Amino acid sequence: MASVWNAALETNVEKIDKRHQEIFRQADVLADPSKHGKLTDMLKFLGEYVILHFQEEEDLQITSKYSEFENHKKFHTAFLASFQEMNQRYSNTGDKTVALDMAKLVTDWLKDHIMVHDKKFASYYRSTIKE
């Protein structure tokens, strides 16, 4: 299951796009059972990386005074809860198929989130902030 990053997912905000691409790469690793030798480490890295990305994105929203910040943050919080629930399920059971479920969660959620919410923010951000 390849996550299939493509140009349609680009927000044209370099910092955001680089993070998204790395999250997709990590989801691809989760989806490859041959790489599950250190699954706990992979899940920890991905969880921390997603938190870092969300914080950076939210910081950009605060800095740019994005009016949809609170709503956008709710999507991030809901995703993290789902991710942590799956991570806990893996911790409790050791069932490596959870990695495939998590890879699907990450890629499906992220694609939808990018196409709707991140692109909306990116358009606003590019129109208000000159880097």
Query: Mind listing the pLDDT tens digit for each residue in 80-108?
Result: 999 899 889 888 988 878 888 888 888 88
Q: Does any domain span residue 89?
A: yes
Q: Does any domain span residue 2?
A: no
pTM of the model as a whole: 0.85
Q: Does any domain span residue 5?
A: no
3-class DSSP state of 12: coil
- Average model confidence (pLDDT) across the chain: 87
Q: Does any domain span residue 3?
A: no
Total domains present in the chain: 1
Q: Does any domain span residue 122?
A: yes
**58, 96 contact by CB (below 8 A):** no
Percent of the chain predicted with pLDDT > 70: 95
Residue ranges making up the domain that contains 19: 12-128
Q: What is the pLDDT of residue 34?
A: 75
**Dist. CA 97–CA 33, nearest whole Å:** 9
Q: Does any domain span residue 111?
A: yes
For residue 86, the domain's CATH number is 1.20.120.50
- Give 3-state DSSP helix, strand, coil % of the chain, rounded to 5: 80, 0, 20
CA torsion through residues 69, 46, 103, 14, sign: positive
Q: What is the pLDDT of residue 16?
A: 93
3-class DSSP state of 14: helix
